[in-house]
């Protein structure tokens, strides 16, 4: 992951996965149990949303399956994944559009 931090006027600013930069890693599919996401939204397994550890809520990310080239745009509204080596958790609908049925190697590009 590309990360830059700087201090301007006494405020720490952190730019993670800035536009035009990519992150590559393993995507997984959410296991929904209902309830709400870390952003306070109601969890929606049919929405084009995802969980990422550090990207701000509301960030749009283009996720591309490295195996088949399929892409989907998702909005970050939750935190995770919490398993080592994974970079994003996708809703079942987003994973289906990418042809993912479990784990897959993907690239992320911030929109």
Q: Where are the domains of the chain?
A: 20-110
Q: What is the pLDDT at residue 49?
A: 95
Q: What is the pLDDT along the chain (111 residues), one digit of tens a residue?
A: 334 333 333 333 344 555 666 899 999 998 777 789 999 999 888 999 999 999 999 999 999 999 999 999 999 999 999 999 999 999 999 999 999 999 999 999 998
| Residue 3 pLDDT | 40
| pLDDT computed for residue 24 by the predictor | 95
**Which CATH entry fits the domain spanning 20-110: 1.10.10.10, 3.40.50.300, 3.60.20.10, 2.40.40.10?**
2.40.40.10
DSSP 100: -
Give me the residues paired with residue 28 across strands: 89, 103
* Rounded-to-integer distance, Cα 72 and Cα 90, Å: 10
Predicted model pTM: 0.79
Alpha-carbon gap, residue 75 to 90, rounded angstroms = 10
Q: Residue 5: its pLDDT value, please?
A: 39
CA nearest neighbour of 79 among 48, 105, 40:
40
């Amino acid at each position: 992951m590309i990360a830059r931090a700087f201090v301007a006027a006494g405020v720490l600013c952190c730019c993670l996965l800035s536009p035009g930069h990519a992150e590559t890693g393993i995507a997984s599919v959410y296991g929904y149990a209902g309830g709400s996401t870390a952003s306070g939204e109601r969890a929606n397994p049919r929405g084009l949303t995802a969980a990422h550890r550090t990207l701000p809520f509301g960030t749009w990310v283009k996720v591309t399956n490295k195996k088949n080239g399929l892409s989907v745009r998702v909005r970050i509204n939750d935190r995770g994944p919490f398993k080592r080596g994974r970079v994003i958790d996708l809703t079942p609908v987003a994973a289906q559009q990418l042809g993912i049925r479990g784990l897959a190697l993907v690239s992320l590009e911030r929109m």
